[in-house]
């Protein structure tokens, strides 16, 4: 399994011969190294409906035929736009040909803003994603505050790699993310959702250095990990 980070909360996973994009916010994302015109994912996994996570999902899915896996209301909204979707909900899991996906809680909001219409569309509950494939377990927390059930996730699953937001203001800040890393008992931790814009500027290297020695990895856009 190969995983790469691409700015903000964008993660690419290559596993079982398929390419997965998580929260593909590419167009308008000054922190990413990916070009939406060049990406051809087989699967798109979404944590919630905010524009900086849904990103280029519709365009990518229509072009490549990608299956979009998302919380129910968000999947329904995207399905109305002609996208092939698989709806899920918190606590549920499903085994696909690329691996198993389970949605976890996330404490945040979830809505899509249609700026031209000055309309906010409710897209259900936000989620985190547990992806299990090739004997590995990867946790993408999505956008979330710290919450105590992270201890339970760490007890239930042997998490090999966790992507945790550290930007503060909208999500956990570095201090809470350090506690999340401890509770999750993840073997490796990558900070995400920071430095994309001024309001969430943080020091990813400083955060990574405070995680258990050697367990924190401050990835730059395009960096890759192999599990």
Closest by CA position to 26, among listed 67, 2, 59: 59
**Pair type for strands 224-226 and 2-5:** antiparallel
Question: 39-96 pLDDT, tens per residue?
Answer: 999 999 999 999 999 999 999 999 999 999 999 999 999 999 999 999 999 999 999 9
CB-based contacts of 88-91 (< 8 A; 24+ apart in sequence): 88/127, 89/124, 89/125, 90/125, 90/127
Would you call 105 helix, strand, or coil by DSSP?
Answer: strand
Half-sphere exposure (Cβ direction) of 201: Cα atoms closer than 13 Å? 3
Closest by CA position to 45, among listed 113, 105, 128, 153: 128
CB count in 10 Å sphere of residue 73: 19
Pair of tokens at residue 5: 């980070």
Dihedrals phi, psi of 75, to nearest 5 degrees = -60, -40
User: Given pLDDT bands bounded at 50, 70 and 90, which one contains residue 223?
Assistant: very high
Nearest 5°: CA angle at 141, between 120 and 214? 145
Would you call 81 helix, strand, or coil by DSSP?
Answer: coil
The pLDDT score that the predictor gives to residue 78 is 98
User: Given pLDDT bands bounded at 50, 70 and 90, which one contains residue 213?
Assistant: confident
Question: 118-153 pLDDT, tens per residue?
Answer: 999 999 999 999 999 999 999 999 999 999 999 999
Helix (H) or strand (E) holding 113: strand 111-114
Residue that wins the pLDDT comparison between 173 and 213: 173
Averaged pLDDT for residues 165-188: 98
CA distance 143 to 171: 6
Non-local (6+) Cβ contacts of 175 within 8 A are none
Averaged pLDDT for residues 2-11: 98
Whether 181 and 170 have beta carbons less than 8 Å apart is answered as no
Domain 2-215 has what CATH class?
alpha beta
Question: 12-38 pLDDT, tens per residue?
Answer: 999 999 999 999 999 999 999 999 999
Question: 90-119 pLDDT, tens per residue?
Answer: 999 999 999 999 999 999 999 999 999 999
Q: How many residues does the chain have?
A: 227
């Amino acid at each position: 399994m190969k995983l790469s980070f691409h700015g903000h909360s964008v993660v690419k996973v290559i596993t079982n011969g398929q390419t997965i994009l998580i929260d593909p916010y590419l167009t308008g994302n000054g922190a990413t190294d990916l070009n939406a015109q060049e990406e051809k994912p087989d699967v798109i996994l979404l944590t919630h409906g905010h524009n900086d996570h849904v990103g280029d999902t519709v365009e990518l899915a229509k072009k490549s035929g990608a299956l979009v896996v998302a919380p129910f209301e968000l999947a329904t909204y995207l399905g109305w736009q002609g996208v092939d979707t698989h709806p899920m909900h918190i606590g549920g899991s499903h085994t696909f040909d690329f691996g198993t996906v389970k949605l976890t809680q996330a404490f945040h909001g979830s809505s899509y803003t249609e700026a031209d219409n000055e309309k906010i569309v409710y897209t259900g509950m936000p989620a985190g994603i547990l992806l299990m494939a090739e004997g590995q377990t990867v946790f993408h927390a999505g956008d979330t505050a710290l919450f105590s059930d992270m201890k339970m996730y760490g007890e239930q699953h042997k998490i090999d790699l966790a992507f945790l937001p550290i930007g503060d203001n909208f999500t956990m800040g570095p201090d809470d993310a350090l506690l999340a890393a401890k509770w999750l008992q993840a073997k490796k931790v990558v900070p995400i959702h920071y430095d994309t814009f001024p309001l969430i500027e943080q020091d990813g290297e400083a955060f990574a250095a405070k995680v258990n020695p050697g367990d924190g990895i401050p990835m730059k856009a395009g960096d890759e990990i192999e599990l």
